[in-house]
Amino acid sequence: MPSATLDTLLVNTIRGLAMDAVQAANSGHPGMPMGAAPMAVALWTRHLRHNPSNPKWFDRDRFILSAGHGSMLLYSLLHLTGYDLSLDELRSFRQWGSRTPGHPENHLTPGVEMATGPLGQGFATGVGMAIAERFLSATFNRPGHVVVDHHTYAIVSDGDLMEGITNEAASLAGHLGLGKLIYLYDDNGISIDGSTKLAFTEDVLGRFDALGWHTDRVDGMDVDAVDQAIVRAKAETGRPSLIACRTVIGFGSPNKGGTEKTHGSPLGEEELRLTKEALGIPLEPRFFVADAAREAFGRAVSQGEAAENEWNERFAGYATAHPEGAAILRRAMAGDFAPEWNAFPEFADKIATRAASGKVLNAIAPVVPTLLGGSADLAGSVNTTLAAFGTFQQDSPTGRTFCFGVREHAMAAALNGMNLHGGVRAYGGTFLIFSDYCRPAVRLAALMGCPTPFVFTHDSIGLGEDGPTHQPVEHLAALRAIPNLHVMRPADGNETAVCWRMALASPSTPCALALTRQSLSSTTPPPGADHPALRGGYVLAEPRDGRVDVILVATGSEVALALAAREALAKEGIGARVVSMPCTSVFDGQDSAYRQAVLPQGVPTVSIEAASTFGWAKYAEAHVGLDRFGASAPAERLFEEFGFTVENVVAVARGLLPMANA
């Protein structure tokens, strides 16, 4: 078969599968796969180095479908190139229990690198993957021994390019000169509401030129043209590449092609028939794959196995020549740390938990050489710098501290990309208030099971004078509401170390560490493997005589307040237990006997947290909290004005006791 004819067959095979699956589900987005199929064929049959038999082969190229609504494009490619995704799965598109959900989910489907759909996330996460590749290749490759060397590809849409996170990530990628990042822009001129001219008339490639990218424009319906553009992009090693591929959404559909009508709805039986006729695809059977197409796509299996075998040999040679590097890289690729990783420092003196966090990271850093991190232009405030290991820049790619710029959202997504890539463990920091700016990426980490540690400092009105625009009030609650996210608010330096222990040991749950600006006394035990904070919440102090009249459950900076209130209550003959609750979700995961032992039903309980009381009714019937915005003033004054005083805690606790009602 002439290669042009074969290409057309491959392209139309994808179109047919996409149309059929969306029609069968009576739900989905056929237009994008139909328009983007040629560029996908160019990339997947001529460039992408991957091994369908081992989707986790470390040195594979990464491919992200940032335009996740075109999921049938990806599922078709995965099925056709031999991943463990059967035609029956494609037939179950968007159905309960299938591995072909409406938008791709990495934790469900082999070969899917990340969950996409929320626009811009794929674009920015891919930047993180390319950063990880850059760091690892610079750190571990040796002359004659190249063991990390792959590209990060994505297909992105106009929706992706409109999102702010994309500009943040693109500016960062341009700054860092990520030459192995190659994005294909599905430039179909159509968004949900109609022509992109309704709202998106900027000079996209001009913008990316200004951001330091190599840009190119080709006919996206021409497989060879896209292929050649990818060749040019690979040749450009100093800048990331954006290739605008002019495509026709819903190509082939005689009445709907080129319009928004093919974006988010099935073509309908009649239009499906007409489209298949126009494209020369048999109407039946549905989900038809010609033998020639299956064979051509299927070559990916042997090619992929050969590529991985060749890499294995290369790695063996590397291991012989550089056994130390190989040992470290092997461990890093497996996601493990050196056994001594959890020798955490102990904190006896007063220290801000943000500062303790910085000390913990710097203590671990020499032992875990693939631990990386940075901040969104707040390095000095959030203590994320690994002082001894340099800054990651274009000309210093083995640096381990990252300057993400004032780009919280792209930072969070890039961190996810670094951790999804593997081989590195990446954290990043900003103020807790700005967790709002990166919230979609934090949520996606939780959904993807990507255990990124987010460092959120200045975690309350303890921030002081910067005022309510910078004082988180509702953020602890808002983050705790996200499934599969551990929000940790340690009470002192030791609990901070314990939280880092949990965060770094977490296989598939991201963590948000809420840390203070202000110094806190050391009130909890040294951070050994037996620290009770590992259970999320625990009894920190009991009443002297053992009789628990009231429980004070507190987090972070308010634990010390609870301890002081306990003393004051003791003077009134009231026995108060203090529970430190650095992580409600870890506590909730304990067995009920433990939870009952810590917070027995029927014992009056007061929660104390310098934040919204939202969510605390689950644990306590009275609250010392802050259900309004903060104010600008020195921190001590704010704690006093807002009732975070021993007197007020005592009064609230007293109010719960029977004698109060007498």
User: In sequence order, which residues have a C-beta less than 8 Å from that of residue 310 and are 6 or more positions away?
Assistant: none
**Angle in degrees, CA 4, 8, 9, rounded to 5:** 115
Closest-CA residue to 16 (of 29, 33, 4): 33
- Regarding 627 and contact with a second copy (CB under 8 A), the answer is yes
Selected range binding a second copy among 5-13, 293-301, 376-384, 521-529, rule: CB under 8 A: 376-384
Q: How far apart are CA 507 and CA 207, in angstroms?
A: 39
Which ranges of 481-608 does DSSP label H, i.e. alpha helix?
493-505, 558-571, 584-588, 592-598
Verify binding: residue 181, a second copy, rule CB under 8 A. no
C-beta of 525 vs 643, nearer to a second copy:
643
The verdict on 592 binding a second copy (CB under 8 A) reads: no
In the complex, the smallest distance separating the C-beta of residue 445 from a second copy, rounded to whole angstroms, is: 12
**CA gap 53, 558 in Å, rounded:** 52
Q: Residue 210 interacts with a second copy (CB under 8 A)?
A: yes
Residue 554 within binding range of a second copy, rule CB under 8 A? no
377: contact with a second copy by CB under 8 A: yes
Which residues ranging from 307 to 366 are in contact with a second copy (CB under 8 A)?
none
Q: Does 437 bind a second copy (CB under 8 A)?
A: yes
Nearer Cβ to a second copy (50/475) = 475
Tokens representing residue 113 in the block = 């690198």
Of 74 and 504, CB closest to a second copy = 74
Q: Convert residues 49-68 into a mask of x (bound to a second copy by CB under 8 A) and - (unbound).
A: -------------------x
Burial 139-173 (b: 16+ CB within 10 A, else e): bbbeeebebbebbbbbbbbbbbbbbebbbbbbbbb
Applying CB under 8 A, among 415, 444, 511, 569 the residue interacting with a second copy is 444
**Is there binding between residue 101 and a second copy (CB under 8 A)?**
yes
Measured distance CA(72)–CA(583) in Å, rounded: 39
Question: Which residues are known catalytic residues?
Answer: 408
Q: Note whether 643 binds a second copy by CB under 8 A.
A: no
Residues 6+ apart with CB under 8 A from 401: 372, 373, 374, 379, 384, 385, 386, 389, 390, 391, 392
Integer angstrom CA distances of residue 127 from 67, 151, 415, 423: 15, 11, 9, 15
**x/- map, 144-173, a second copy, by CB under 8 A:** --------------xx--xxxxxxx--xx-
Rg (CA), the chain: 27
Residue of 309, 617, 647, 660 that binds a second copy (CB under 8 A): 617
Edge-to-edge order in the sheet of strand 214-219: 62-65, 152-157, 181-187, 241-246, 214-219
Q: How distant, in Å, are the alpha carbons of 153, 530, 655 from that of 424?
A: 19, 27, 51
Nearer residue to a second copy within complex by CB, 47 or 79 = 79
Q: Which of 519, 632, 645, 648 binds a second copy (CB under 8 A)?
A: 632
212-251: contacts with a second copy (CB under 8 A): 212
CB of 391 to a second copy, least distance (A): 8
The yes or no reply on residue 200 touching a second copy (CB under 8 A) is yes
Measure the CA–CA gap between 279 and 523, rounded to whole angstroms. Answer: 72
Burial of 2 (0-12, 13-18, 19+ CB in 10 A): exposed
| Count, residues near a second copy per rule CB under 8 A | 106
Q: How far apart are CA 575 and CA 548, in angstroms?
A: 5
Binding marks (x or -) toward a second copy, 455..494, rule CB under 8 A? ---------xxxxxxx--xx--xx-xxxxx----------
* 31 is a contact residue toward a second copy (CB under 8 A): no
* Interaction residues for a second copy, span 76-95 (CB under 8 A): 94-95
Distance CA 65, CA 58 (A): 19
For the bound state, the minimum distance from the C-beta of residue 68 to a second copy, rounded and expressed in Å, comes to: 7
Does position 615 interact with a second copy (CB under 8 A)? The reply is: yes
Q: Of residues 206, 390, 600, 655, which one binds a second copy by CB under 8 A? A: 206
